[in-house]
Every structure is written in C-alpha cells, then in structure tokens.
Amino acid sequence: MPDSLLKVDGLTAGYNRVPAIRDLDLEVGPGEVVSLLGPNGAGKTTSLLAMVGLVPLMSGTVEVLGEPLGKPHHMARRGMMLVPDDRGLFFGLTVRDHLRLARRRPSAERETVVMERFPALARLDSRKAGLLSGGEQQMLAIAAALLSEPRLLLVDEMSLGLAPKIVQDMLPAIRDLAKEEGIGVVLVEQHVELALAVSDRALVLNHGRVVLAGAAADLLKDRSQLEAAYFGSDEFADRGAEAMS
C-alpha cells in the first residue's frame, strides 16, 4: 500500500459516553477510494465525524497526512475535507459565492479544472444554493471541496435524496478524481453496488463494528456474504452484539 493519507487504528467514538463505533481500523492511500457501508445506525457517519475531529475519540488513534488528529479547522488546512450529508451549503449564497469562499488561493486554472467536471454549475453561477436541485447542490458541495485542493476527501451519503441516474453519473467522477489527482477518498454510501463499483476496498459496519472488509471487487462477487453482513444474519448480528457488550 502507498504511504497512508489516513490511518485509523482502534477507533472507538460516540455520544454521551455511549460508543456508536468500536475498534475501527482503516487506512487510505493516495488515489484510493474506501467505502464505509452498512444500514442506518451502523456508525458510518459517526466514523467520519470522528476522523475529522467533530466527535471526540473514546479510544484509538487517527493520523492525517502523517500527523496526529487535531482540531477540525487544522485538518482542513492540512488538506482533509468533509462533504457532510446535509452538503454544508448556505442557501442564501449563490453558486459563485460558494466557489469564491472555497478557494484557498486565487487560481483560475484550478477553478477551470473543477468546473470542467461539473459544467452544469457554470450555467447556475448566480443562482442561490437554496434554489438548486438536490443533484446541483451535491455538485456544488463537491466542487467547493475540490477547489480547496484536498489531499483527503470524506463524503457522507453523496446519493442522499438524489435520483439513481444522478448517482450513477457522480460516483464515477469521484473515482476519476481520486485516480487523476491522487486524492484519498472515504465514501459513506447507501447504494452498495454502485459504491463498490468505484471503490478499491470497503468495510461493512453493523451494530457499530466492522463485520466484513475486503477488496471491493471480491465483495461484489460474494453477494450472499455481503447481504448477510449488511442486513445482519445471525452470525453477523452476534458479532455486533458482542462488540456492544
């Protein structure tokens, strides 16, 4: 594996001293896409929030670009960007306003590269974010993140509220970005097969614990094992219960 951009070791985190995720191990290198899969309440979003410092760690460690996890704004300056499930937009600001605020430094070249990936945004330059469709909002959120020239991108539920056709178009764009720019990507996604199709590796969470992990291509081949882990067969449910005891 190439040098890690993100290394998570034994991460346990949650709320009000109650763990929502236990003993998570995860590593992401340049150009890799790693998916976190699982049913609602499995701990996927908590995992992302803990990785960026928005949920405190109960135990374990997180290293970002070779350094220990710090405060969220320090992580952003180092090149770690989170696109949250609510997209993090200001509905009263225009597309242009968001893109201007997202730039770390003026760079017409960088903006051109980003806008070439999302040409629809160019036609929406003066439209307020609150008037965009769900797909347009997601494009804007990802474009804004990319303008900051991230080295590590965490995307939470990119497909939430979007039509399947839009998801089919946008997920491969994430794969291309990782490959072409060497960005490490952690992808939380409900569209399991689409996520696996663009991922290098994947982890399936259930009851706050990893119950299945491996190469994305291998997980796609073994649908019965994947479904058992995702939906919680007796075997995998028992593992999750042990983790939460």
Q: What pLDDT is attached to residue 2?
A: 46
Mapped onto helix, strand or coil, the DSSP state of residue 19 is strand
- For the cut 60, the answer to whether the pLDDT of residue 195 exceeds it is yes
Go through the domains of the chain in sequence order and give each one's CATH number. Answer: 6-79+151-244 (3.40.50.300), 89-149 (no CATH)
Task: Pick the closest to residue 144 from 113, 86, 98 (CA basis).
Answer: 98
Work out the angle between the directed axes of helices 134-147 and 108-117 (0-180°, nearest 10).
Answer: 150
105 — pLDDT class (breaks 50, 70, 90): low
165-175: pLDDT as tens digits: 777 878 888 89
CA 188 – CA 143 distance, rounded (Å)? 18
Q: What pLDDT is attached to residue 171?
A: 85
Count CB neighbours of 94 within 10 A: 18
Provide the mean pLDDT of the chain.
Answer: 86
Query: What does the pLDDT average to over 19-27?
Result: 96
Q: What pLDDT is attached to residue 240?
A: 41
Q: What pLDDT is attached to residue 1?
A: 41
Strand partners, 4: none
Q: What pLDDT is attached to residue 202?
A: 96
Taking the mean position of all CA atoms in its chain, how far away is CA 209?
Answer: 18
Query: What does the pLDDT average to over 62-87?
Result: 88
Q: List the alpha helices (DSSP H) in the chain.
A: 44-51, 72-78, 95-102, 108-117, 134-147, 164-181, 192-198, 216-221, 223-231, 234-244
Q: What pLDDT is attached to residue 169?
A: 78
Q: What pLDDT is attached to residue 189?
A: 87
Contact residues for 107 (Cβ-Cβ < 8 A; gap 6+): none
Percent of the chain with pLDDT over 70: 92
- For the cut 90, the answer to whether the pLDDT of residue 146 exceeds it is no
The CA distances from residue 231 to 32, 117, 164, 214, in Å, are 26, 35, 21, 17
Q: What pLDDT is attached to residue 106?
A: 59
Dihedral sign (CA 185, 187, 191, 193) = positive
Q: Which residue has the higher pLDDT, 213 or 76?
A: 213
